[in-house]
Structures are given as C-alpha cells and as structure tokens.
A = this chain, B = another copy of it.
Amino acid sequence: MINKEEHLRALEDTLAYFNKASIVLTEYEKKQIEIADFGLNDLRHTGLQLITFVNTDRVCAKEMVLFPRQTCPEHKHPNRNGIPGKEETFRCRSGRVYLYVEGEKSQEIHCKVPPGSEKYYTVWHEIILNPGEQYTLYPDTLHWFQAGEEGAVISEFSTNSDDLSDIFTDDRIKRIPEIDR
C-alpha cells in the first residue's frame, strides 16, 4: 500500500484534475476520494483515483481520474448468483483514454503496459476515447484502460458497483476498500 505522503500527493493531483475539468465536489466528497493502488504499491503506473457519487442497488455513478499513462488493470465483472454482473459506460470528459476490451487485436496499440506486469494483460482490442466519447461494457467482459500523456477524467455510469466481486487477471491484485487514514 502507498504511504501517507504519496496518498496526499495523489489526492492533491486528483483535485487539480477535477478542478481543471470544472467538476465540482462538495467538501464531504473531497474527503471520500479513493486512491486505489490495487495492492501493487506502484500507483503512478497501476492505479485509479475516484469519487463515487451514488451507488444504490440499481444505479452507480463515479467520476474517475487517471494520471498520465496510469493504468486501471485488466479485470471483469462476473455475473453474481444469477444476477447479471456490472454493466458500465465510460465517458471521457477530458484528456484521452485508451480502452482495451475482448475482441480482435488492434493493428496499432498506443499504450505502454506497466513494466513488470506484461503477462497480466491479455485483451488487445483498442478503443480510443477523446472528450465527449464513450463506450459501454457489458458484464463478464475483460477490459483495462490507460490515460494518454495528459491524464484523463472519466465518468462512469453503471449498475451497482461491488468491487469485491471483480476478477483481476493479475492474481497479485487485491481490490480492498481503503481503511481510514
């Protein structure tokens, strides 16, 4: 897990991205921002910063920040007890996002896989999202995404979000909720 100093730096950077994209958060929400390092302690390569606006049984909405070339690692949202898994739409608000999903490998690949993690990335159908562009992922579909050189702000519109049920290709990853700092 990243240390307190790195956590604070990431938090400041995240707020700066939201501010630049004119996304207003309440003071309470600012304290709820999650810095996810996925247990790999290599945040600037593998990580995600996010605020969850709402997460009921039926609907979830988040605003996410990726730092330059930072990667949200490959995973999928399986069906749970006969209930379809999470469906999610990613909408790029600023910057650029390279999204990789199951399907034919794209001829040109614009990302750089986090060093040392190459074997944990297995899907290579590339979708590029510029501001205003979006893509909907249905349940049980492997995917991962990386920001371009300027980082990115991404809205996620989805069904209920239950991080604990996510399946990551990288078995070193533990997606556990943060403890209070």
Contacts and interface: CB of A to CB of B under 8 A. Distances in A.
Nearest to A54: B89
Given A24-B131, A29-B132, A61-B155, 9 more contacts: A22-B22, A25-B132, A26-B132, A56-B136, A58-B84, A59-B87, A59-B89, A60-B157, A157-B157
Residue from the set A26, A56, A61, A94 with the largest chain B CB neighbour count within 10 Å: A61
A87 B53 CA distance: 15
A60 to B, nearest CB: 8
A54 B155 CA distance: 12
Given A54-B134, A54-B136, A132-B29, A158 B59 contact: yes
A23 B29 CA distance: 20
Contact of A59 (B25, B26, B29, B157): B157
A133 interface: yes
Q: 6 closest A-B pairs (Cβ-Cβ)?
A: A22-B22, A61-B157, A24-B132, A24-B131, A26-B132, A54-B89
A141 interface: no
Which range contains the number of A residues in contact with the other chain?
A: 20 to 34
A159 interface: yes
Interface in A7-65: 21-26, 29, 53-54, 56, 58-61
A93 interface: yes
A91 interface: yes
Contact of A53 (B24, B58, B157, B159): B157
Interface in A117-131: 131
Interface in A154-174: 155, 157-159
